[in-house]
Structure formats: C-alpha cells, structure tokens
C-alpha cells in the first residue's frame, strides 16, 4: 500500500465534510455536526483561513485527514498546533496512516517554531493506547470548559 500526504485544497471540501461526518458518527456525536460545504469553504479557504487540513491517501484513495490550527502558549512564549480532528477510515486503521498524519503535524510544528502539539480524545477512544505508545501524555489534571449557543450569546451581550 502506497500512502501519500498532501495539503487539502478547495476541491477537497466534500471529502473533508465526509470525514467530519464519519468521525462524528464514530464518536456518537453526529447530532452536533452543522458544518456545511459553504461554511467549510469560507473558514478553511476564505480570506482568513482558520484551520488547515492534510489528507492521507492510500493507493490514491482518501484514507484519513487531520484538521489543525495554531494556538499559543504564554508559558512557552511560542505557538503550538492544536489538532481538532484526526480521523482514519476503519479499513485503513492499524496501517500507520494515523502515525503518518501525526508525523506530518509534528514536522510542521518544528518547521514553524511551535513548542507543542495538542489534541483532545474521548476517554473511551481505543486510540488512546496508540497515543500513549508514541509518547503523548494525557493531561488528566485539566478540565475542558466550553461556551456555545445561548450561553455564549448571553455572556457576549453582558459586557
């Protein structure tokens, strides 16, 4: 099996959306997906791209993707890379494609002077053992908070 990794372009929007939906289904969160091709085009390839995507192809077929963006560490005074989504289609799992995607992100992080690469994983996800095996460290002392929808609007309008 020949695997290639490439930066996504506008023509990949349907593939990116399909991968997002497949990942959401796997995570039992498909009810939360509201992304459309139009929104993906605007936010990934518009005047101000907010994230980047790398596509993995196995024998010229889309096998997986990683969607990421920069964050910043005040403690390190350096940028970092945050992985929003890393997904490999079931038939390609266990073949090194996920590791290859992470290796690409790690290389980009070093090229761009980043101090770290981070991502969240659902606690039941079997990929956690893979992440442990490559030396990633679970940040189990941190709690994730999120504001969305009405709560986000309410707080924004209070200031």
Contacts of 141 (CB under 8 A, 6+ apart): none
Two structure tokens written together for 156 = 């924004």
d(Cα 143, Cα 82) in Å, to the nearest integer? 16
Positive or negative torsion for Cα 10, 102, 50, 85: positive
Residue 131 a catalytic site member: yes
String of DSSP letters for 9-28: -GGGHHHHHHHHHHHHHHTT
| Helices marked H in the chain | 13-26, 37-45, 97-111, 127-133, 149-158
Catalytic residue among 87, 92, 131, 145: 131
Residues serving a catalytic function are: 131
């Amino acid at each position: 099996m020949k695997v290639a990794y490439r930066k996504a372009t506008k023509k990949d929007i349907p593939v990116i959306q399909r991968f997002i939906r497949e990942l959401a289904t796997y995570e039992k969160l498909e009810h939360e997906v509201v992304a459309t091709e139009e929104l993906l085009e605007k936010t990934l390839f518009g005047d101000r791209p907010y994230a980047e995507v790398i596509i993995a192809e196995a024998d010229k077929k889309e096998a997986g993707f990683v969607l990421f963006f920069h964050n910043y560490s005040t403690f390190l005074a350096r940028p970092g890379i945050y992985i929003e989504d890393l997904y490999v289609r079931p038939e390609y799992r266990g073949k090194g494609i996920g590791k290859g995607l992470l290796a690409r992100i790690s290389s980009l992080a070093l090229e761009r002077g980043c101090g770290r690469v981070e991502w969240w994983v659902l606690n039941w996800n079997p990929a956690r053992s893979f992440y442990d095996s490559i030396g990633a460290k679970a940040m189990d002392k941190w709690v994730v908070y999120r504001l969305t929808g009405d709560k986000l609007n309410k707080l924004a309008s209070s200031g």
